[in-house]
Amino acid sequence: MLLGIKSTQTLLLRHFSVAIIGILLVAMVWQVNSTWSPDMRLWKAFGGGSFFLLWFALFIGPAARVWPPLQRLVSLRREAGVWFFLIVLVHGYLILDGWVRWSFWEFFGYQYIPEVEQYMRVEAGFGIANLAGLMALTFTLTLAATSFDRAVNFLGVSSWKWLHSFSYVVFYLSAIHVLYFAFIHYTPSLLRAVLGQPTNYPDNPLKFYYLAAFLSVLVVQIIAFILTVRKQRNSGW
């Protein structure tokens, strides 16, 4: 069996279906950000598309506890996680290569100021948000590397489940990253004005969808936890 699936054909079909959904999500985010420059529009497309896939992977489990008919979708979590990983890798590469240009200092919100001949902190929030994204990607690499039956057999089911419970850490770190750029980074900045940089950017048309995704996972986790505790108490466990 492959990842609990009885045939290679079924596995490939599931991956193909989730891949199509991922491509459509990237295309959707690209389309709605039409007012942004092509390079930033591309970064946002892969970042937003990957975040919505991650949202599905983390939302559907607790949501199925609250509303059991959703249980039929729970088995797609692993494919969604794999394609989140692949799409977010592209997003990370585009940011490193096109925005911060592989500069450690610029990645953390510093810029070189010729007048004083040194790097100075310009965007503290930018650095924190990027650090959250980098930590999320590091966890994701670990989870992706162990998303195979051999890893389950090697680690043991309990250890594997504990390791993959960190998927929620990935989600909340990613949410910090996404919400910072959706609500804070592109708002008018006095420091940018002083440095002669742009102070006004187009509004992010998906920012409230990102916020709703974050809140929905948080709320459904809380509800599922309460229902689980109530069920266990009623069963006398």
pLDDT in tens, 32-89: 999 999 999 999 999 999 999 999 999 999 999 999 999 999 989 989 999 999 999 9
Lowest mean pLDDT: which of 92-101, 120-129, 145-154?
A: 145-154
Enclosing domain of residue 148: 8-230
Among all chains, which residue has been given the structure tokens 């919400």?
179
Quote the CA–CA distance of 225 and 232 in Å, as a whole number.
Answer: 11
Helix-strand-coil percent breakdown of the chain, rounded to 5? 75, 5, 20
**In this predicted structure, what is the pLDDT of residue 60?**
96
178 band by pLDDT with thresholds 50, 70 and 90 = very high
- As given in the structure block, the two tokens for residue 152 are 């389950």
Residue 18 within any structural domain of the chain: yes
Q: Quick check: 47 and 31 in contact, CB under 8 A?
A: no
**In this predicted structure, what is the pLDDT of residue 192?**
67
29 band by pLDDT with thresholds 50, 70 and 90 = very high
Among all chains, which residue has been given the structure tokens 């492959």?
2
Residue 237 within any structural domain of the chain: no
Residue 3 within any structural domain of the chain: no
Q: What is the mean pLDDT of residues 113-127?
A: 84
Residue 204 within any structural domain of the chain: yes
- As given in the structure block, the two tokens for residue 199 are 């102070």
State what percent of residues in the chain have pLDDT above 90.
62
Q: What is the mean pLDDT of residues 99-105?
A: 91
**In this predicted structure, what is the pLDDT of residue 146?**
86
Q: How many domains, in total, are found in the chain?
A: 1
Quote the CA–CA distance of 78 and 60 in Å, as a whole number.
Answer: 11
Is the pLDDT at 6 greater than 70? The verdict is: no
**In this predicted structure, what is the pLDDT of residue 1?**
43
Is the pLDDT at 200 greater than 60? The verdict is: yes
Residue 2 within any structural domain of the chain: no
Residue 198 within any structural domain of the chain: yes
- Cα 20–chain centre separation: 18
Report which residue type is found at 16. Answer: F
Q: What's the sign of the alpha-carbon dihedral 217, 53, 87, 39?
A: negative
**In this predicted structure, what is the pLDDT of residue 2?**
45
Residue 79 within any structural domain of the chain: yes
Quote the CA–CA distance of 151 and 157 in Å, as a whole number.
Answer: 9
